[in-house]
Amino acid sequence: MTWLQRLDLSWNGINSSTVDAWFWNVPTLPYLDLSFNLLSGPFPDALQELYLDGNSMVGMIPATLQRLCSLQVVHVSWNQINGDMSEFMDRLPRCALSHVQVLHLSATNMSGELPQWIGDMSELTSLDLSYNNLAGDIPLGIGRLSKLTKLFLFMNYEWTLDRGALFQYDAVYLNISVNQISGRLPSSLRFMTSAKYIYLRSNNFTGSMPLLPKKLRVLDLSSNSLSGPIPSEFSGPYLMQLDVSYNRINGTVPASLLCQHPDLLLLDLSNNNLSGHLPQCKNISSDGLKLSTLILYKNNLSGRFPVFLKLCQAMTFLDLSQNMFYGILPEWIGRKLSSLTHLRLRSNMFSGNIPYSAGTAWWPTTVGPSWQLDIRNQLTGTIPRNISDLQKLESLDLSMNELSGAIPSSLSDLTSLGYLNLSYNNLSGRIPSGNQLQMWRFAYFQTIDKAYDVLYVFVEIRT
């Protein structure tokens, strides 16, 4: 078969001990995919693309690889090479280094350091070294890889970062999350003109947030030690996702972030030191905002229920809990936020009744596959009878309010309900029976075990 140009035997579970390995001897074969098998053997000299992912390989790659001078793509991820990264790199064919474009070595249990000469692989466009035990300096040579568009270094042991080394090239995708990289984020970050996806979470970055590249779509800076305010002139006009949770960021939330990013879908500012009122977002087009997930949990934000949320009709997940918001809950929540599936308002200072509008509760009645409602505040009045409209409600927490009256019997119609907490209120009367709640027996705390299901119930009744 000297004419064969492409052979894909991936995901077959083939063992080389039971197969006639005729394909090893096809001298002109440029593409060979043996991923997720148990195969091994010599490689055709003309090979350009080699895929050995998930083959249970143990130990270093064979020295015969040195003959593959046409090699352009190397995938050896999800094997047990169990060796030193420098030794592995030395076994790559030196005659092919100038034209290797893809090198993926993730989850191979390699340790040690990456050699400085990796900067000589001038055609490299994608490098994946994630899920290993690499340590030491990230080579400055990476900054010379002008064609590199994807760099995956996440989940290693302990990298040290020469300031700006990883931000000298113009990658489209950069992921160095879950390492121990420290230092300040360089101002040169904003000049990565092609960057669209940057993931830096769970490191030890310090200092303030830098300005962003203009084409950036996704930025994850969560679980670092960043401080200072969010820049008032927040850049990145095409930003779709921003996660800076679990940092030490202070100041207010600028209008430029919330109101001037029409494509923003996810914003997570939780577990910081932000304060003040949220912007009102005036002069927004009739199309509104695309924001679907907003997480502001555990800050020091204040003010009434944010009015700008009227403009977020695609909102599905809203978490304002553990702040200092106050005032009554507006009736428009159910009408304007009709796609909500998760609403968390606990540990604020909201007061007043759970509102109605023309006899209809304020929550959405057309919801997705699950629904969670958590409102621990200072609410008064009664639990609405038509709470049973939330047929897909899985979790309901109205505890630690000042609600009074009886528990509506319609609660027993919520067949998806798995968690109910009504404790620390002023409720009275009998616990409803029937359907989902038919096994309630105690008035204060009860865990109900049903076949293949558990309903957790926390109720306080004052008679």
How big is the chain by its Cα radius of gyration, in Å? Answer: 28
Q: Which two tokens stand for residue 373?
A: 């409602």
Rounded Cα–Cα distance for residues 28 and 1 (Å): 9
Rounded Cα–Cα distance for residues 169 and 194 (Å): 9
Please give the average per-residue pLDDT across 146-154, as a whole number: 91
Rounded Cα–Cα distance for residues 202 and 96 (Å): 35
The pLDDT assigned to 363 comes to 60
pLDDT of 445 strictly over 60: no
Among the listed ranges 16-25, 297-306, 452-461, which one has the minimum average pLDDT value? 452-461
Residues 6 or more apart in contact with residue 349 via CB below 8 angstroms: 324, 325, 326, 377, 378
- pTM for the whole structure: 0.86
- For 190, phi then psi, to 5°, come to -70, -15
Nearest CA-CA partner of 203 in 182, 174, 173, 175 = 182
What is the chain's mean pLDDT, rounded?
Answer: 82
The pLDDT assigned to 17 comes to 45
- For 104, phi then psi, to 5°, come to -115, 115
Position 358 confidence tier, pLDDT thresholds 50, 70, 90: very low
Structure-model confidence comparison of residues 347 and 390, the more confident one: 347
Q: In what order do the strands lie in the sheet with 204-207?
A: 182-184, 204-207, 225-229, 248-251, 273-277, 300-303, 324-328, 349-353, 378-380
Most confident residue range from 118-127, 283-292, 446-455: 118-127
pLDDT of 81 strictly over 80: yes
* Domains of the chain, earliest start first: 1-180 (3.80.10.10)
Most confident residue range from 59-73, 183-197, 305-319: 305-319
Q: What is the pLDDT of residues 394-439, one digit of tens each?
A: 888 999 999 999 988 888 888 888 888 888 999 888 877 766 665 4
Residues 6 or more apart in contact with residue 410 via CB below 8 angstroms: 385, 386, 387, 388
Position 197 confidence tier, pLDDT thresholds 50, 70, 90: very high
Most confident residue range from 31-35, 185-189, 293-297: 293-297
Q: Which two tokens stand for residue 185?
A: 């984020």
CA angle 373, 377, 381 (to 5 degrees): 85
pLDDT of 22 strictly over 90: no
* 67 three-state secondary structure: helix
Report how far apart the first and last C-alpha atoms of the chain are (Å, whole number): 87
Rounded Cα–Cα distance for residues 332 and 324 (Å): 21
Whole-number percent of the chain with pLDDT over 70: 79
The pLDDT assigned to 150 comes to 93
- For 174, phi then psi, to 5°, come to -130, 120
Nearest CA-CA partner of 116 in 154, 157, 162 = 162
The pLDDT assigned to 29 comes to 64
Q: What is the pLDDT of residues 115-149, one digit of tens each?
A: 989 989 999 999 999 999 998 888 888 878 889 99
pLDDT of 164 strictly over 90: no
Please give the average per-residue pLDDT across 2-28, as a whole number: 61
Among the listed ranges 221-235, 286-300, 346-360, which one has the minimum average pLDDT value? 346-360
Q: Which two tokens stand for residue 441?
A: 């027996």
Residues 6 or more apart in contact with residue 192 via CB below 8 angstroms: 167, 169, 170, 171, 198, 213
The pLDDT assigned to 19 comes to 41
Rounded Cα–Cα distance for residues 252 and 228 (Å): 10
Position 359 confidence tier, pLDDT thresholds 50, 70, 90: very low
Longest dimension (CA), the chain: 89
Helices marked H in 122-244: none
pLDDT of 227 strictly over 80: yes
